[in-house]
Structure 1
Amino acid sequence: MTFLSPVWLWLLVPALLIAVLYVVMYLRRSRYALRFTNLDLLDRLAPKGPGWRRHVPAAAFMGMLVLLVVGFARPTAEVRVPREQATIIVAFDVSASMQATDVAPNRFAAAREAARRFVGDLPSRFNLGLVTFSSSASVSVPPTADRAAVLSAIDRLTTDSGTAIGEAVFSSLDAIDALEGGEEGQERPPAHIVLMSDGSSTMGRTPELAAREAASRRVPVSTIAYGTSGGTIQMGGRETQVPVDGPALRELAESTGGGFYEAASGGELRAVYDDIGSSVGYRTERQEVWPWFVGVALLGAVVAAGTSLFWFSRIL
């Protein structure tokens, strides 16, 4: 937390002095009462003291003073606020390895269900596109606010051979540029690519080349390594290992300013999508938060006056 007018914080010094003076006066009063040596007579003559209740109004009053001083200093804090606009591209791996059953019922079915949930949870004001990739990449749905079109395309997905991760990034960047091409002179809304894959890139341009291009356009690529190291599929009548290549996906994400995630089950993949949706759906900006301090200070004033009036029939 930072302060726009920190000079007001000097008023905390007299507030502290008031608190010290209150403690000193209370201790002096206690010592004076102990000088009355006939404690039995004192107990009969003096009513039972209010105990801890005597300090509640004072404590509430001091809290009010401190909060008002901090409020006048105009504190600021990092606050998450919803984005007004954004373009999100979901790059979905439809390579044959997605048929591995190390994730129930298989990687492809679980990933498709998680992607559907991700689409449904994104703010409706966002443009959302779908890119699919196997041996090549294509834009299945250009960025649009029509969620039904994206969900329908996800339902129609089928698997194919090969994995072209680099081409998926390039196709996603092209889709983003195509959407924003007619807005010359206006600030481009933020864009983000969410790429999920379960294997190594075997086709097309390399992920390293794609990462440099995405970084130059300031488009983060968040990657999800999906599946386990023990995944297998049947190819040509024999079992073939299809382990996840996490390091390559991590490098792609880190070099573009995106996040890297690993998911070894359908539940973990849904949690990853939830986390990504939360991060791309909001931005962090510094805002003044003094109204909160003033509001709580006013509540403290009410507590101080109310308890004093209720217990001692006076306002402080």
Structure 2
Amino acid sequence: MTLIAPFWLLLLIPVALLALSYVVMTMRRSSYAVRFTNLDLLDKVAPKGPGWRRHVPAAALLLMFTLLVIGFARPTAEVQVPRERATIMVAFDVSASMAATDVTPNRFEAAKQAARQFVDGLPERFNLGLVSFSSSATVAVAPTTDRQSVLSALDRLDTASGTAIGEAVFSSLEAIAALDSEEEAPPAHIVLLSDGSSTTGRTVSDAAAEASSRGVPVTTIAYGTPDGTINLSGSDVPVPVDGPALRGLAESAGGNFYEAASGDELQAVYEDIGTSVGYRTEQQEVWQWFVAAGMIFALIAAVTSMFWFSRLP
């Protein structure tokens, strides 16, 4: 939190002096009471004191003054604001290794289910596109606000051989460029899910450099476990997830890197991504929070003083 007008904090000096005066007066009152040496008689003739309750109105009043002063200083804080527009490209790995059953029922079906929930959770005003990639990359759905077309394309996906991660990024960038031909294009983001290393097409480093030059972050998800296998010609072939390559792509392209080893984890990752791309962080004044809190403490001071002492503080 930062303050736009911190000089108003000088008003905390008289508030501190007021608090100090209250403490001194309370201690002085206690010393006067001790001068009455016959404590047994004092206990019989003097009414029972309010104890700690007598300090509540004063404490609430001092807190009110403090909060109002901070409000005058015009504090600001980072606030998440929904984006009005954005373009999201989901790049989905359909390589043969996605048939591995280390994720129930398999990587491919669990990933499609999580992607569907991601699609449903994005704001309707966002443009959303889908790229599938194996040995090559294909724009299955160009960026659109029609969510059903993306969901239908997800249902039609099927696995094939090869993994062209670099081509998936380039295809996503081309789809974004085709849509964002206007002068002030909305922010764009690529979300790429894969479980292996790139085996064909343009390199991942070239794709990261291109995405970075266009100002399009690439967030990657390494999906699967080190124990994944697929059956080829009767033999189990290991297909461990390759996290370092995907991490390097995300870091080079200004995105985030995630790992998911189950369908539930992948859904949680997509939810986090949806929050990050669906909102932007802004510095906004939050003085009204402090003023509102100050008014609450003022009411506490007034109510407790009236009910316990039949007077306003």
Shorter-chain TM-score range: over 0.9
TM normalised by structure 1 equals: 0.98
> Which residue in 2 is equivalent to 1:192?
189
Partner of 2:82: 82
Structure 1 position 303, deviation (Å): 0.9
The residue type equivalent to 1:100 in the other structure is A
Q: 2:215: which partner in 1? A: 218
Q: Does 1:107 align with 2:107?
A: yes
* Counterpart residue number, 1:168: 168
Shift of 1:238: 2.2
**TM-score, L = length of structure 2:** 0.99
Shift of 1:243: 1.2
Classify the secondary structure of the residue corresponding to 1:11: helix
Work out which of the residue numbers 259, 281, 285 in structure 2 matches 1:284: 281
Give the 5 Å matches for 1:288-307.
288-307=285-304
Corresponding residue SS for 1:15:
helix
Structure 2 counterpart SS, 1:195:
strand
Q: 1:259 aligns with which of 256, 260, 269?
A: 256
For the residues of structure 2 that align with 1:188 and 1:315, how far apart are their CA atoms?
59
Distance 1:256 1:180 in 2: 19
1:236 deviates by 2.9
1:238 and 2:235 correspond: yes
For 2:141 and 2:46, locate their aligned partners in 1 and report how far apart those are by CA, in whole Å.
Answer: 84
Whole-Å separation in 2 of the counterparts to 1:57 and 1:264: 55
CA distance in 1, matches of 2:275, 2:132: 23
What corresponds to 1:8 in structure 2? 8
Query: What is the root-mean-square deviation of aligned Cα atoms in Å?
Result: 0.8
3-state DSSP class of the match of 2:196? coil
Q: Which secondary structure does the structure 2 equivalent of 1:70 belong to?
A: helix
- Report the residue type matching 2:196 in the other structure: G
Deviates more, 1:39-48 or 1:211-220: 39-48
3-state SS in 2 of match to 1:257: coil
Q: What code does the residue aligned with 1:37 have?
A: T
**2:42 maps to what in 1?**
42
Percent identity, aligned pairs only?
Answer: 72
Alpha-carbon distance in 1 for matches of 2:168, 2:17 = 66
- Structure 2 CA distance, aligned partners of 1:239 and 1:300? 68
> Counterparts of 2:226 and 2:126 in 1: how far apart (Å)?
35
Q: What secondary structure, in the 3-state scheme, does the structure 1 residue paired with 2:198 have? A: coil
How far off is 1:42 after superposition?
Answer: 1.2
Instruction: Specify the alignment match of 2:177 in structure 1.
Output: 177
- Count of aligned residue pairs for this structure pair: 313
- Letter of the 2:95 counterpart: S
2:98: which partner in 1? 98
What's the CA shift string for 1:271-311, capped at 9, x where partnerless?
Answer: 11111111111111100000010011111111111111111
Aligned to 1:312: 309
Alpha-carbon offset, residue 235 of structure 1 = 1.7
Look up the equivalent residue of 2:69 and give its one-letter code: V
Indicate the residue corresponding to 2:70 in structure 1.
Answer: 70
Q: Which moved more, 1:17-26 or 1:302-311?
A: 302-311
User: Distance between the aligned counterparts of 2:241 and 2:37, measured in 1?
Assistant: 84
Alignment gaps of 5+ in structure 1: none
Alpha-carbon shift at residue 189 of structure 1 (Å):
1.0
> For residues 25 and 170 of structure 1, what CA distance do their matches in structure 2 show?
75
- Distance in 2, Cα, partners of 1:282 & 1:124: 13
Question: Per-residue displacement from partner, 1:105-143 (whole Å, max 9, x unpaired)?
Answer: 111010000000111111111111000000000100011
Secondary structure at the counterpart of residue 102 of structure 1: coil
Q: CA deviation at 1:237?
A: 3.1
Q: Does 1:205 align with 2:202?
A: yes
| Matches of 2:298 and 2:226, distance apart in 1 | 62
Q: Tell me the distance in 2 between the aligned counterparts of 1:235 and 1:211.
A: 32
1:153 maps to 153
Q: Secondary structure at the match of 1:234?
A: strand
Matched, 1:275 2:289: no
SS at 2:302's partner residue?
helix
Question: What letter is aligned with 1:231?
Answer: G
Q: CA separation in 1, counterparts of 2:170 and 2:180?
A: 16
Instruction: Give the secondary structure class of the aligned counterpart of 1:71.
Output: helix
Aligned equivalents of 2:307 and 2:241: distance in 1?
68
Task: Report the secondary structure of 2:241's partner residue.
Answer: coil
